[in-house]
Every structure is written in C-alpha cells, then in structure tokens.
C-alpha cells in the first residue's frame, strides 16, 4: 500500500541529498561564491524549520516559523549573503534573526555575527538551535534592530525584513568600506539594495526585486 507523504516526512534519499540538490539549484540560479555555496552545503536547514513543515525544508521558498514570520527563501538568503562579499574576518550584524538560519550561514563565513530579533520567543528558539549546531560566534539579541545593535561598527549588515528606507542608525554603524544589504520599498514588494560606505558617503546599488515581511520599528514601519 502506498504511504501518504506528510510535510514532516523526508522524501527519497534523506537530508544530505536534498541539501546537495538545493546547492546545485542555487548554483543554477546564479550564486557563484564557492564559500557561500559551501556554507549552504553545511547548514541543516531542516533544523530551523518547524516540524509541521520540515518535509518542505529544501523547497526554494519561504516557510512559516510562527508569529506571522517566515524563514526566507534559500535563494534570497544566498543572494543577500553573496552581496555582503564576506572573506572570513568580518564582524556582521543581522537584523531579523527569525529562525536563525541566515545567522548560521553567516557564522561560517565571518569572524563574528550579532543578530537581533524583535520577537523574544523567535530569538530564544533560534539561539537554542544555533547552540545545538555549535555556532559559537553568533550572539542573539532581542530588540528593535532599526536602532542598530550591539557594539558597532560592523563590516557588513544584512536586514532580512522590508524597510521603507535604509535606517540611518544602521548606515552609521558601518565601517569604512562596509556593506549594508537591505530590502527597501513598500510593505508588499521591495528592491534589494546594497550600500557601500566610502568615507561619509554611501554608494547605493539596486540588486533585484524581492518580497519580505515588514521591518517594524522606530526607523522602519509602524506596527
């Protein structure tokens, strides 16, 4: 008798095989940085997905993580990470910890990662998974990341929620040469932008269209 596939089942060859296929898919979609692809090959995304959606962990799409929030699409996480151009020695700030998956990817590509989330239960759960996976260079904070976080400056900042404008406190926390990658637009659809600090100037590039949950905070959307 044929078994019914539930969201929690692992189809076919198991997680490692699904992860390898996801990395091939990211490469096909244009992700080139070998360090980024290797990080995606190492981090078990299934550990960051709630159990009722675990069977979909390697589908290239966002998934719900509770409190109306999502773990982002793998391709978008990869594109944002690649845009940060990390070489290994950086201090990185992430705004919007969510599940903790992007922080785990960043932990393999940078010296130190600080990540901040406005929902304490999401932060607590992410911190536990990151501890279990021995991501010892990640610090999880709770608060409004639009105000900046931890003790800057940072070499790279990634915002994983959609903002009306790049928050000035985040631009101020960038080191010389530092990069800020952030979705900017309206509450529904945004453009992924990259800012590079050159002295007191910020060079802006538009990278691609994207759709993120809103960045809620003093320098973001009002809730």
By CB under 6 A, name the binding residues for ligand SAM: 69-72, 95-96, 98-99, 101-102, 116-119, 122, 144-146, 160-161, 212-213, 215-217, 220
Catalytic residue, from 51, 72, 107, 223: name it.
72
Q: Check if 72 is active-site.
A: yes
Q: Which lies closer to ligand SAM via its Cβ, residue 65 or residue 174?
A: 65
Q: Which lies closer to ligand SAM via its Cβ, residue 42 or residue 177?
A: 42
Question: Least Å distance between CB 199 and ligand SAM?
Answer: 27
CA distance linking residue 7 with residue 156, whole number of Å = 36
Q: Which lies closer to ligand SAM via its Cβ, residue 18 or residue 161?
A: 161
Q: Rounded to 5 degrees, what are φ and ψ at 211?
A: -135, 115
Question: Least Å distance between CB 91 and ligand SAM?
Answer: 18
Question: Least Å distance between CB 159 and ligand SAM?
Answer: 8
Question: Least Å distance between CB 49 and ligand SAM?
Answer: 9
Q: Which lies closer to ligand SAM via its Cβ, residue 160 or residue 173?
A: 160
Residues with a catalytic annotation lie at 72
């Amino acid at each position: 008798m044929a078994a019914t596939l539930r969201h929690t089942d692992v189809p076919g060859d198991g997680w490692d095989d699904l992860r390898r296929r996801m990395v091939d898919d990211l490469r096909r979609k244009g992700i080139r940085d070998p360090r980024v692809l290797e990080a995606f090959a190492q981090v078990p995304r299934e550990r960051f997905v709630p159990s009722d959606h675990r069977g979909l962990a390697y589908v290239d799409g966002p998934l719900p993580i509770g409190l109306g929030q999502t773990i982002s699409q793998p391709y978008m996480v990869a594109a944002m990470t690649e845009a940060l151009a990390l070489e290994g020695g950086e201090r990185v700030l992430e705004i919007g910890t969510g599940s903790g998956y992007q922080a785990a990817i960043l932990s393999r590509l940078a010296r130190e990662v600080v990540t901040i989330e406005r929902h304490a239960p999401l932060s607590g759960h992410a911190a536990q998974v990151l501890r279990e996976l021995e991501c010892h260079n990640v610090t999880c904070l709770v608060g409004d990341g639009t105000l900046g976080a931890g003790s800057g400056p940072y070499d790279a900042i990634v915002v994983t929620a959609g903002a009306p404008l790049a928050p000035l406190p985040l631009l101020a926390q960038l080191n010389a040469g530092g990069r800020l990658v952030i979705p900017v637009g309206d509450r529904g659809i945004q453009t992924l932008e990259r800012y590079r600090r050159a002295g007191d100037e910020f060079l802006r590039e538009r990278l691609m269209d994207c759709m993120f949950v809103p960045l809620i905070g003093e320098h973001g959307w009002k809730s």
